[in-house]
Amino acid sequence: MPENTPIALVTGSAQRLGAHTAQLLHERGWNVVIHFRSRREKAQDLSEAMNQQRPNSAVALQADLSKMADINYLGTKAIEHWGRLDALVNNASVFYPNPTPEATEDDWDSIMHTNLKAPFFLLQTCLPALRASSGSVVNLIDIYSEKPLPEHPLYCASKAGLAALTRSWAKDLAPTVRVNGVSPGAILWPEGDAAVDASYQLKILAQTPLNRTGTPDDIARTIVFLLTEAPFITGQVISVDGGRSLNM
């Protein structure tokens, strides 16, 4: 590996937006640490495909971001693998409805630990390496961090907290480390228990001035822009939402 090859850790990058971000960084010449919790096969397939394109350019690491030991393990191993770290992308997230009357302490822990606690302590672990490389952080937030989604109070609170951390870190870690955020709008519809029906999808699109969903590449390109082409931008949260936040 050339000495100047930049290294990125992207959490939750076995699939969806995280995978697209990891792939675009890899295409731009970065080495990538692909984090996964349960999608081992997808993470390993992605890593192997990258290594076929460029040997020793990707590695897959498993960690449960609700556990402190796993958070510390992930950050430590990500740095040790190539001996440096230039970017941290906090993409991993838990999303599901939890109306206040029915929400449990387990819901609180599940959402807050992954969406807010993990980014904080992962950055703490990675900070010496990021300072050494004058690196950069991008946090995946959400347009619902400012204008909440009904029946999702814990999710919205966790993302609002991550937005606040983004701005706090930008002040505290300057001038060495830049920290920014990206807030997606309608890009990929939720899956599993959080899936939404077709009528709700149409309602979302009707509120979106560009009248369409975005693509994963819209998010990935914005993240890569902030990491590689924005040396004078820090403390900003960019909404990539087709203008939907104007109508919420």
Cβ atoms 61, 33 nearer than 8 A: yes
Can you list the positions of beta strands (E) in 82-218? 87-90, 136-140, 178-184
Annotation marks residue 73 as catalytic: no
Cα 101 to the chain's mean position, in Å? 29
Give me the catalytic one of 96, 144, 155, 200. 155
Distance CA(10)–CA(159), nearest Å, equals 17
Q: CA-CA distances (angstroms) from residue 190 to 94, 127, 168?
A: 11, 32, 29
Cβ atoms 89, 10 nearer than 8 A: yes
Which residue numbers are catalytic?
A: 155
